[in-house]
Amino acid sequence: MNTSLRVNEVARHFDINANTVRHYVRIGLLNPPKDDSGYHRFNATQQQRLGFILNARELGFTLEDIQQLLLDAEQGESPCPHAREMIELRLQQAKEKLASLAALVERMEQATSAWKNIPDCEPCGEHICHLIEGKHHSA
Amino acid sequence: MNTSLRVNEVARHFDINANTVRHYVRIGLLNPPKDDSGYHRFNATQQQRLGFILNARELGFTLEDIQQLLLDAEQGESPCPHAREMIELRLQQAKEKLASLAALVERMEQATSAWKNIPDCEPCGEHICHLIEGKHHSA
DNA sequence: CTTGACCTGCGAGCTACTCGCAGGTTTATT
DNA sequence: AATAAACCTGCGAGTAGCTCGCAGGTCAAG
């Protein structure tokens, strides 16, 4: 666990894209020191940080949220209160998104179903595509 | 219907943000001619186009999809075959997104529920946030 | 000492807007 | 007619979270 990995190695270890790791470094979520060749080196602390980031991401936190939690911990404060607040907000947002996405799927299914009984339109200059412009999804 | 509206007027008419209209102009979805003062003017054709765009958007087509459909119609071909193909793909993608989002909401709800019985952690240097790093969401 | 495989950080691009801004247009007031 | 205020314009840049491409650096083998 005291090994110091390079970007590609740590990415393989966590089974993620190396570019994702580079992205987290770029935006400051990770701060791996550089070696003599100028390559980023991920020690145990940075590896733990990355593990934390991936866990938090799985729970719907944004990268900015995660940055805040890491900052809390660095400054010796418990990140838990923030985590509890944040997940409540993110959960609510996720539910809203879920609802609107479900509504979209519903609209799409109704449209495809209705389109089965409608022939293709010939371009007549009056409409662009009567399938899409039709009234069948406004009722 | 033969009125020629400016950006803000047409936006109000369709109840959308004027910047959205400008965006569509910028990416070429709309091609309103300019008047003597250099302002975009939306005639009946452009207004119909915008209406079509909004309808298609409601059905889950991407702006690129919509561009293709408009191109079909401009070239005198029926856009319907493309529309049928596209909506099938977009529907499938929307369903996948819906499933993963539902799974996320499920994980978040389980986590918040589990966290109710766990006190805040004090920073001890061993972990970053035991709520997030805990095993309760990997089981 | 050179070939080649592998790796690096960084710039730019992706979706569909949304915001801010310098500056042009129009209208009301002096 | 001049001017100030209100309104509107197009365009540059920013948003989330990656993902890709690329010029160039590193390193072991021959």
| Separation CA B80–CA B73 (nearest Å) | 9
Lowest mean pLDDT among A27-31, B3-7, B21-25: B3-7
pLDDT digits (tens, 9 = 90+) for B71-105: 999 998 889 999 999 999 999 999 999 999 999 99
Q: Which of residues 55-84 of B touch A (CB under 8 A)?
A: 55-56, 58-61, 69-70, 73, 76-81, 83-84
The pLDDT, as a whole number, for residue A2 is 55
Q: Cα dist. A104→A9, A18, A109, B97, B126 in Å?
A: 41, 34, 9, 11, 45
Q: pLDDT > 70: what percent of chain A? A: 91
- pLDDT, mean over chain A: 89
In this complex, the answer to whether residue B95 has its CB under 7 A from any atom of chain D, a nucleic strand, is no
Phi and psi (nearest 5°) for A34?
-100, 145
Q: Please give the torsion angle defined by the CA atoms of residues B84, B86, B92 and B98, in that order, rounded to the nearest 10 degrees.
A: -110
Closest CA to B40 of B26, B51, B53: B26
Question: CA of A34, closest CA in chain B: separation in Å?
Answer: 23
pLDDT digits (tens, 9 = 90+) for A35-73: 888 889 999 999 999 999 999 999 999 999 999 999 999
The pLDDT, as a whole number, for residue B133 is 84
Is the pLDDT assigned to residue A93 strictly greater than 90?
yes
Q: Cα dist. B121→A6, A86, B4, B124, B129 in Å?
A: 31, 16, 64, 8, 7
pLDDT band at B119 (very low <50, low <70, confident <90, very high): confident
Q: Cα dist. A64→A32, A61, A71, A81, B106 in Å?
A: 19, 8, 11, 16, 22
The pLDDT, as a whole number, for residue B137 is 43
Closest CA to B125 of A69, A29, A76: A76
Please indicate if any CB of chain B lies within 8 Å of the CB of A107: yes
In this complex, the answer to whether residue B54 has its CB under 7 A from any atom of chain D, a nucleic strand, is no
Cβ atoms of A67 and B20 closer than 8 Å: no
Q: pLDDT > 70: what percent of chain B? A: 93
The pLDDT, as a whole number, for residue A131 is 80
pLDDT digits (tens, 9 = 90+) for B17-64: 999 999 999 999 999 998 888 889 999 999 999 999 999 999 999 999
The pLDDT, as a whole number, for residue A136 is 47
| Separation CA B48–CA B98 (nearest Å) | 31
Task: State the pTM of this model.
Answer: 0.87
In this complex, the answer to whether residue B57 has its CB under 7 A from any atom of chain D, a nucleic strand, is no
Region B1-13: mean pLDDT is: 83
pLDDT band at A119 (very low <50, low <70, confident <90, very high): confident
